[in-house]
């Protein structure tokens, strides 16, 4: 903190402070500590990732919880790390190769993986380094990578165990195939987009008799893989055709007409071509009817070269193939009509390429048995979602879960620990290759989410359940993430955690909203609407970024709309704190700053009471993950209570011990949200410090000895009075230089104590206590049961004052009417709780009294 500048230099301070924490190893958790554990594992950012606003929010919230618990007597561990991000990383490296006109096949698998490791090692720390700019207090000495040795061992063990339990199997099924990634992807990695398309109606002639059956399809090129035409058995139009045979146009292949309930009579023509090798539903129908599976599109998205595909179409890519097929159908006059039809098309989440449903041999996890305990854990409350509504979402997905396709035809990732005998083809699933000379490992790697599903325990040393970290920090406490990866990640961690550690991997899942731009749109590079958190940090400071995000983060987990300017809010607050602290510290003259509880002014008691109330609220809200509320409570307390009133009052009469005490506690309360500025100021505080930094200082809690409710109430009266007098000054344009006299008709004991406050804060000259004042040319204000007269002579326009008072009276009358209506209603007085009734009664009396005072005033003026 410079003594000169009135503007807080956030970046300079933040860099200095973060370095101080790092140099002192402040974030290193001690597995041998006696303190109770509190642990969070970071949602591992992709190694390809660059810090974005989503991370900024997610990391900030985790850091707040970690710092809060660290100050509250817990051994807090925040486990950092990165995800190897199979497809994403492989894409990046392949793109780099493409620049040299090479493909991964030019390098070969071994060399390619080596190259990818090089790239990963170079970039592995990039995003975690960026997280440091956010003030993250994670323990980098424990940093992990989902592809490191420990994680690899965990993955192998889990795979082998699941296989041995019969929960992993290899099978031939329809998968979502991305022709660009050249890999199968899972259902959750497939997004559906609505696209305009056509419904082509094609006529298949009946065999050996006149007539034809017309089917409708959105993918005519797959017709060559047809093995049947299906109709609904209850469809009178087609009923009689079941069992007959028809002839496929263009190829002349004969296929049966079958009946199946799956067919929707009302859609299209009511007749459906069955292509089991290229459509998941057709696959099921095909199985029910023991039909052949004919693959006609290959893994590159090209039409296959085989006897099923007409020569003109063989080898064409699927787009050209469709065109050509339609053309040929037209020529053969079997294209009945083309109907425009918008439909949903599966896209690869990574590269947006249209998915090709494809028959393929893949590895799957049988999810139903694994899901069961994972459902129970949430239903019984072992795991709680905040906000709770996400539980429903999670349960719905888990209850309808389908098997998880875990094999990927990539080179970057955990290679599947299945080994095939070179001669016999016999398969062995084991931790190690049983005999490298005779067995070859499965070529496929595992879905990235397979290893991240183990993240909470693989990072803690599992499968070594005796490791210190595992014993101390597992299960973890809270998981913080956005709702977009509940299925991808959270659900899988829960299933895997329960299966392999017999414990829920965390007890609370705190789900926050997503960051969006001002218009509520998702931020994306292609839209060009991204805001770079690093830029914001440079411009406004990290604490400002954190505070603003936190303030905007509501309990309901609503998405957060941001724009650059919104962060001025946090910056301004930081600046305010800096200046207030500077002022307080500049004015400390005493060595002994112990509070003398026998010698406190009502102002002192008021601020201590307010601090205490604020503390209670902050702690309650932190415990309940109402973090946005915490930010707003602290903002309100500091600005409107501490700065606007207490510090102002201290210019008149100060209690240095209380000034410092409140600032100290406030800094501690705020530290989890704004760690740097609070640390920087705290280091300069003249309080006894047992700890190296505020990050280890004890978090304040509610304290009975700070309860001063009565004095606090009196002080509120004082503030009311000052505000009322200021209001008079403003309304009658009384220049600040011109002091006013006031006449007070009541409550002399209190008012005589606060004359200096009135002098300074309302520019009052003389205070007189008189029951009756006869000075007509006055402005009036009432505070509770007290009338205050401000003689103004020529400064006052009496008509204006009458208007002012009448307006007030009207407002009170309006409120009185409503209150009286309530009180006169026997239903209210009988059925409402007694304290509500008595409070209403009190309110009525107060209003009546005030109204009386005002009416007297009006009468006098008129």
Name which of residues 638 to 697 contact RNA (CB under 7 A): 639, 643-644, 647-648, 651
d(CA 70, CA 695): 7
Q: Which stretch binds RNA (CB under 7 A): 59-67, 262-270, 360-368, 748-756?
A: 262-270
Nearer to RNA, 315 or 387 (CB): 387
CB of 297 to RNA, least distance (A): 14
Size of the site for RNA (CB under 7 A): 91
Q: x/- site string to RNA, residues 232 to 251, per CB under 7 A?
A: --------------------
Q: In 734-803, at which residue ranges do the beta strands (DSSP E only) sit? A: 740-744, 764-769, 778-783, 786-791
In the set 442, 568, 741, 856, which binds RNA (CB under 7 A)?
A: 568
Peptide bond into 367 cis (omega under 30): no
Binding mask 523-562 for RNA (x = CB under 7 A): -----------------------------x-xxx-x--x-
Which of left, alpha, beta for 419 (phi over 0: left; psi -120 to 50: alpha)? beta
Q: What is the 3-state secondary structure (H, E, C) of 28-71?
A: CCCCCCCCCEEEEECCCCECCCCCCHHHHHHHHHHHHHHHHHHH
H-only helix segments in 601-652: 602-623, 627-636, 648-650
From 152-160, 275-283, 373-381, 597-605, give the range in contact with RNA by CB under 7 A. Answer: 275-283
When binding is defined by CB under 7 A, the residue of 576, 689, 707, 844 that contacts RNA is 576
Going from the C-alpha of 709 to that of each of 280, 424, 672, the distances in angstroms are: 69, 85, 28
Range 189-228, binding RNA (CB under 7 A): 191-192, 199, 216-219
Binding status of residue 109 toward RNA by CB under 7 A: no
Nearer to RNA, 598 or 736 (CB): 736
Provide φ and ψ at 483, rounded to 5°.
Answer: -70, -15
Q: Which stretch binds RNA (CB under 7 A): 103-111, 188-196, 409-417, 677-685?
A: 188-196
732 near RNA, rule: CB under 7 A: no
580 forms part of the interface with RNA (CB under 7 A): yes
Classify residue 505 by burial, with Cβ atoms within 10 Å: 0-12, 13-18, 19+: buried
Rule CB under 7 A: say whether 108 interacts with RNA: no
Q: Report helix, strand or coil for 158.
A: helix
Interface with RNA, residue 590, by CB under 7 A: no
Binding mask 487-506 for RNA (x = CB under 7 A): x-------------------
Binding of residue 616 to RNA (CB under 7 A)? no
Nearer to RNA, 107 or 371 (CB): 371
Of 314-343, which residues contact RNA (CB under 7 A)?
341, 343
**In angstroms, what is the minimal distance from the CB of 87 to RNA?**
17
- β-strand 786-791 against 778-783: which pairing, if any? antiparallel
Nearer to RNA by Cβ, of 25 and 234: the residue is 234
The residue among 586 and 749 lying less far from RNA, judged by its C-beta, is 586
Instruction: Quote the least distance from Cβ 306 to RNA, whole Å.
Output: 22
Verify cis geometry, omega within 30 degrees of 0, for the bond prior to 387: yes
**381 to 400, contacts with RNA by CB under 7 A?**
389, 392-393, 396-397, 400
> How far separated are the first and last CA of the chain, in Å rounded?
59
- Smallest gap from Cβ 476 to RNA, in A, equals 25
Cβ-based burial of 588 (10 A; exposed 0-12, middle 13-18, buried ≥19)? middle
Number of H helices, E strands in the chain: 29, 29
Whether the CB-CB separation of 285 and 230 falls below 8 Å is answered with: yes
Point out which span in 524-532, 581-589, 667-675, 742-750 binds RNA (CB under 7 A). Answer: 581-589
Distances (CA, A) of 395 to 187, 364, 731, 738, 762: 17, 21, 60, 70, 61
Whole-angstrom distance, CA of residue 323 vs CA of residue 345: 18
Least distance to RNA from the beta carbon of 744, Å? 19
With contact defined as beta carbons under 8 Å apart, do 299 and 358 qualify? yes
Cβ at position 836, least distance to RNA in Å: 5
User: Among candidates 368, 364, 429, which has minimal Cα distance to 156?
Assistant: 429
What is the DSSP secondary-structure string of 72-86? TT-EEEEE-EEB--H
Contacts with RNA in 791-830 (CB under 7 A)? 815, 818-819, 821-822, 825, 827-828
- What are the tokens at 624? 């309940």
Task: Output the smallest distance, CB 673 to RNA, in A.
Answer: 15
Can you state the percent helix, strand and coil of the chain, rounding each to 5?
Answer: 45, 20, 35
Residues in 344-363 that interact with RNA by CB under 7 A = 344, 346
Distance of closest approach, residue 466 Cβ to RNA, in angstroms:
39
Question: Which residue lies nearer to RNA by CB, 280 or 686?
Answer: 280
- The correct pick among 76, 255, 258, 272 for binding RNA (CB under 7 A) is 272
Complex with RNA: residue 133 or 560, whichever CB lies closer: 560
Choose which of 165, 300, 836, 845 interacts with RNA (CB under 7 A).
Answer: 836
Q: Which of 723, 813, 844, 860 binds RNA (CB under 7 A)?
A: 723
Site for RNA in 734-773 (CB under 7 A): 736
CB 634 within 8 A of CB 667: no
Closer residue to RNA in complex, CB, 470/757? 757
597 scored as a contact of RNA (CB under 7 A): no
> Minimum distance from CB of 522 to RNA (Å)?
8
Q: Which of 20, 569, 702, 732 binds RNA (CB under 7 A)?
A: 569
Quote the CA–CA distance of 507 and 137 in Å, as a whole number.
21
Q: Which lies closer to RNA via its Cβ, residue 113 or residue 631?
A: 631
Binding flag, residue 583, RNA (CB under 7 A): yes
By CB under 7 A, is residue 279 in contact with RNA?
yes
DSSP string spanning 384-403?
Answer: EEESTHHHHHHHHHHHT---
| 3-state SS assignment for residue 514 | coil
Helix or strand run (H / E) with residue 229:
strand 228-231
Find the DSSP H helices in 232-341.
280-288, 318-331
Q: Where are the alpha helices (DSSP H) in 684-797?
A: 709-731, 748-753, 755-761
Binding to RNA (CB under 7 A) within 450-479 occurs at none
Determine if 720 is a binding residue for RNA (CB under 7 A): no
Q: Does 846 bind RNA (CB under 7 A)?
A: no
Which of residues 467, 529, 530, 572 is near RNA by CB under 7 A? 572
Nearer to RNA, 534 or 816 (CB): 816
Q: Does 718 bind RNA (CB under 7 A)?
A: no
């Amino acid at each position: 903190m410079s003594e000169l500048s009135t503007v807080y230099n956030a970046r300079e301070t933040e860099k200095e402070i973060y370095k101080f924490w790092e140099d002192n190893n402040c974030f290193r958790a001690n597995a041998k500590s006696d303190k109770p554990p509190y642990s969070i594992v970071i949602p591992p950012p992709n190694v390809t990732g660059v810090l974005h606003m989503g991370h900024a929010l997610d990391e900030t919230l985790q850091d707040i919880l970690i710092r809060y618990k660290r100050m509250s007597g817990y051994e807090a561990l925040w486990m950092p790390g990165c995800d190897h991000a199979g497809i994403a990383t492989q894409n990046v490296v392949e793109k780099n190769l493409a620049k040299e006109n090479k493909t991964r096949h030019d390098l070969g698998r071994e060399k390619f993986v080596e190259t990818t490791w090089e790239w990963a090692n170079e970039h592995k720390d990039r995003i975690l380094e960026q997280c440091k700019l956010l003030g993250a207090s994670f323990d980098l000495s424990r940093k992990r990578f989902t592809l490191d040795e420990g994680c690899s061992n965990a993955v192998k063990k889990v795979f082998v165990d699941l296989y041995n339990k019969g929960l992993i199997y290899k099978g031939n099924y329809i998968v979502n195939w991305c022709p660009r990634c050249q890999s199968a992807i899972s259902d959750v990695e497939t997004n559906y987009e609505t696209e305009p398309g056509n419904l082509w109606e094609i006529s298949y002639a009946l065999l050996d008799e006149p007539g034809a059956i017309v089917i409708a399809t959105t993918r005519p090129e797959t017709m060559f893989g047809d093995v049947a035409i299906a109709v609904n058995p209850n469809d009178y139009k087609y009923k009689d055709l079941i069992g007959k045979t028809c002839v496929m146009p263009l190829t002349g292949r004969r296929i049966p007409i079958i009946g199946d309930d799956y067919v929707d009579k009302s859609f299209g023509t009511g007749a459906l071509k069955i292509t089991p090798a290229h459509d998941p539903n057709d696959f099921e129908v095909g199985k029910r009817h023991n039909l052949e599976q004919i693959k006609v599109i290959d893994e590159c998205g090209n039409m296959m070269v085989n006897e099923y595909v007409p020569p003109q179409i063989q080898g064409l890519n699927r787009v050209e193939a469709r065109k050509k097929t339609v053309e040929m159908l037209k020529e053969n006059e079997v294209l009945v009509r083309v109907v425009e039809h918008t439909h949903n098309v599966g896209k690869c989440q990574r590269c947006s390429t249209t998915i090709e449903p494809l028959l393929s041999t893949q590895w799957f996890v049988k999810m139903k048995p694994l899901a069961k305990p994972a459902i129970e854990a949430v239903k019984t409350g072992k795991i709680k979602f905040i906000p709770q509504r996400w539980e429903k979402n999670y349960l719905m997905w888990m209850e309808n879960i389908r098997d998880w396709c875990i094999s990927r035809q990539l080179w970057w990732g955990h290679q599947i620990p299945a080994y095939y005998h070179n001669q016999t083809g016999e398969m062995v699933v084991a931790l190690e290759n049983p005999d490298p000379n005779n067995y070859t490992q499965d070529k496929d790697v595992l879905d990235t989410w397979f290893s991240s599903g183990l993240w909470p325990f693989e990072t803690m040393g599992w499968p070594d359940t005796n490791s210190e970290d595992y014993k101390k920090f597992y299960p973890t406490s809270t998981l913080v993430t956005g709702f977009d990866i509940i299925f991808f990640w959270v659900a899988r961690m829960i299933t895997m955690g329960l299966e392999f550690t017999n414990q829920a991997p965390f007890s609370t899942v705190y789900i926050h909203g997503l960051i969006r731009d001002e218009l509520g749109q998702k931020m994306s590079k292609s839209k060009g609407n991204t805001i770079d958190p690093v830029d914001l940090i440079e411009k406004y400071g990290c604490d400002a970024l954190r505070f603003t995000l936190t303030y905007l983060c509501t309990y309901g987990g609503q998405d957060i709309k941001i724009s650059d300017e919104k962060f001025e809010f946090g910056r301004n607050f930081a600046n305010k704190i800096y200046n207030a602290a500077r002022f307080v510290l500049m004015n400390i003259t005493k060595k002994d700053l112990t509070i003398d509880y026998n010698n406190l002014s009502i102002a002192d008691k008021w601020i201590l009471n307010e601090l205490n109330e604020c503390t209670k609220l902050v702690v309650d809200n932190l415990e309940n993950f109402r973090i946005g509320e915490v930010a707003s409570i602290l903002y309100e307390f500091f600005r409107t209570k501490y700065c606007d009133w207490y510090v102002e009052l201290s210019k008149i009469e100060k209690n240095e011990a209380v000034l410092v005490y409140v600032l100290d506690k406030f800094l501690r309360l705020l530290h989890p949200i704004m760690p740097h500025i609070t640390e920087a100021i705290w280091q300069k505080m003249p309080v006894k410090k047992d700890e190296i930094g505020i990050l280890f200082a004890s978090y304040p809690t509610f304290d009975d000895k700070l309860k001063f409710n009565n004095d606090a109430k009196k002080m509120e009266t004082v503030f009311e009075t000052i505000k009322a007098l200021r209001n008079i000054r403003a309304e009658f344009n009384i220049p600040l230089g011109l002091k006013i006299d006031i006449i007070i008709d009541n409550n002399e004991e209190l008012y005589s104590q606060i004359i200096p406050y009135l002098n300074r804060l309302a520019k009052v000259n003389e205070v007189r206590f008189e029951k009756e004042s006869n000075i007509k040319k006055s402005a009036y204000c009432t505070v509770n049961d007290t009338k205050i007269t401000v003689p103004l002579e020529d400064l006052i326009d009496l008509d204006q004052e009458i208007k002012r008072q009448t307006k007030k009276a009207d407002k009170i009358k309006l409120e009185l009417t409503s209150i009286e209506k309530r009180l006169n209603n026997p239903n209210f007085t009988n059925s409402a709780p007694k304290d509500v009734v008595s409070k209403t009664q009190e309110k009525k009396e107060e209003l009546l009294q005030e109204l009386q005072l005002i009416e007297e005033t009006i009468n006098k003026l008129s």
